[in-house]
Structure 1
Amino acid sequence: MRHSDPEGLYRALGVSPAADPDEIKNAYRRLAKETHPDAGGKGSEFQFHRIYNAYKILSDDNARARYDRRFTLEDAEHSWLGIHPVKCSRCRKVTAQPRTLTFERIYSILFFSFRRPTSGVFCTRCAQISSVRASFTTALFGWWAVPVAPFLTLRTIARNAMGGVRDEEADEELLWQNSRAFAAQGNRKLSYALATKLTTATDPDIAEEARELVEDMEARGANRRKIKLKDPWRIKPMAAMSHLMLAAVLPVGIGGVALQALQSVDIKDRPIHAAVDAVPPVDTSTASVPDALGANRAMPRGCWKEPDNGEVLYRINPRVAPGHEVALINDTDAAAIVKVRSAFSKRLIAAVFMYPHASAALGGIPDGYYIVQYAFGSRLNDSCVSFVDSSGSWQFPATENLRTIATGEGPQQLRYSLMADPAPAQAVKVPQNIFGQN
């Protein structure tokens, strides 16, 4: 019988694997006298304990039989020499507690939905990355088939958030492989911790062999109370929250667009109802607009009411407190509308009306990138946010970056002066049809 003797028990006593019990006992007594510190031996305390541990195993018939069986080269079924620790199938790194997991992706087209699983042996880090990627893909492409796609999408993201679909029997085999591989490499603590976890395995063969390994190591001094195995697979609240956010991205986005559309319709329709309820019949052919000096100017209009100077004609969102402010001066002889738009989408954020030779302020602007436009005219259209007969519309050339509220530095104030015929460096002319867009 050839032995690998990877733990060096026979070498520690200086005997062969075929030595009988008397040879082992005599070798131990001789070496103990030579190495025991209290007997004046020349060996170190480490050498003495190494000899003592070797004798403790080899002098016990059952323990020696387990050792011989476990490390016998000729017995391929019980040989642990060729066993290597399990590696993650993604990062290719050794992982002590691997898991066999499956994460699903849902794709939907019209009335059809189909799954695309991602399976493998994962470490905890790669499992988290793969689960988030699968949930992200599902959140983008899983909703679009009716009627079952929304249900499948939510169920799949929930499963991914809980750690995917697990094969527990395969996981027990992986842990047992690691326990034997670490034992063969001399990492007794990790091997013992994994074997302790497997003493209650569903596979009776794995459970029995794990109990033998635990008894063997406890006979050599392993302490169950001191050697504990942490569970890296506990569900982390922040990671689960990221999946829930992905599940809500599309419904919230669609709901936001629908709400915005309803708000826009409500804003446009609101003046019509207000005119019926609050405004008595008047002559709508002209309107009197006082200027800064108190004089009255006749202004034909189609708007339901006469706006005051500085009155906000439109605001896409509720006023932000404290918010940024746009201070305006209209030093011309014509009424003006000033609009603040998003610099990227060109969506209208807010609009304010100004009398001739007057000043106004538009506050409550949230953080963002904006452009400022203005136009002159005398007659407002039915939506009350643009002129029907504009005499010119311009845009200030600078894009304003208002980004200080979120950082705690306080709001900013922008100042603009409206000019009837500005130079190109001061303002750029824009078509009336663009200025009139919401």
Structure 2
Amino acid sequence: MTTLARDPKGYYAVLGLDPGADAEEIRAAYRQRVKVVHPDRDPSTRAREEFRRLIEAYAVLKDVIRRAEYDSGMPYEAGDEGDFTPLPVACGTCGSLTAQPRYVVFRTVRSYLIWVKLGHLDGIFCRDCADHAAAKASIVSWLWGWWSLPGLVLTPLALLANLFGGIKPRRENTRILLRQARAFLGRGDLVLARSLVEQAESFARSPEDQARIAALLRATDGAAFGHRRRLKSRWRPGGRVFLAQALPLLALPVTIAIFALIVTRLWDRPASTVSPIAIQPATVGEIRHVAVDGLKLRMAPLPGAPVLTLLDRFTTVEVSTSTDNPDWVGVRSPAGIEGYVETRALYAGSGARFKTEWCTDNRGPPPIAGEILSRRVSGDHRLLLHNDGRRDGVVKLKTLSGSTVLSVYVPATFHIGVGGIPDGTYRIEYATGARYSRGCALFIDGMQASVLPMTVTFHYQSATANRSLTHIAEVWLSPQSNAGPRPLPLPPDRFASDD
């Protein structure tokens, strides 16, 4: 059964609205109309009468309870008793009569970067319309509430309040339920009337409301005996709309935790421990690699024993001999030299993979074109370097004994002149590749090293020598068709052996 809103006293007509107008439209119409008929603007008797009617209409329609009573066609003021029988209160949204109407306020939050606007959707609802209003208010808050610092706090609070049925003011809901109880009592439905009175008891706080409840309970005593049809409350949380609102809220902490994990990057933090390092004993035939720079390979498993050679970091060795002392172990170097080293200086596995990881972590900033990576001595001579290939390169001038005098970075397609070369005879080595690592003096990706099968000699010319006879040496990193001898391959470790 439904009831249509009516306008028995013409209150909607005074504001120029239809009976179905919402609260915002009523406020806007009142503000606009009061400017026209205010006595300060129009002192006529007709204007004063319209102003009085406007104030009376707005006082009723702005109050959701009084408006519901007015729409029912028979207003019922608090304190009216006796033979008065009101009409049942209808849902303010769909207009249907419901045995359990509630006045509910749903919160909305709108953020504007630095400030927040709090709003609400309120009215007298049946349960279905209340669910729809809660979903609408929550959607507004989800879309607009998060975009400011206050909104990050207020939005979850509003969403939780809407999830559990909104805010139900006690005084208004007591009045609604008591009116509804009197309406059904007037129709002779004692069971339904008593159930509504009992629901009103949970809201009532004032002595006046409690006195009216007591009177209605006495009037419905006949429904308290025998078989009784109880009215189940429809306002407990649950249903599809509740689930639709709850799922995003349940996912919110998980989303925040994932975002915090991404920001803090906990997986990149080194694990700390206070436990001592456990040194595993080495077995004969096991492959290990050197974990420190300049590890001394000694003739005997003693700290003061003569040194046979120095082993660079990441050098792969083979365990050849076990000792009585677990702190020392006999190894064979890649060059075939056998000796003893401290066990704690060796890590399990080949050093190639660990070296690549270390070189990547210590790559440093990429070199610029023509950057001198190392220089040990200086002079007056010059050298032209040509890199016509598609891979970056590093050129080294080494003495015949293998010491690097100069190292320079030559990117792909660059032609660079290098000065400051001293007198002497040098062997020229170069390497090409991608992603140069300053920590290892090597290319991480696709490195290829070569050595020219000839030497270059620089010597001083006297000031009286003919400058036209001066020749500037040139080096090509890519083979030339008209060139003589081609470069020879060189192991990458040997290329970086003295860096």
Higher helix share: 1
- Which has more radius of gyration? 2
Whether these two folds match at TM > 0.5 is: no
Structure having greater relative contact order (Cα 8 Å, sep ≥ 6): 1
TM-score normalised by L of structure 1: 0.39
Higher strand share: 2
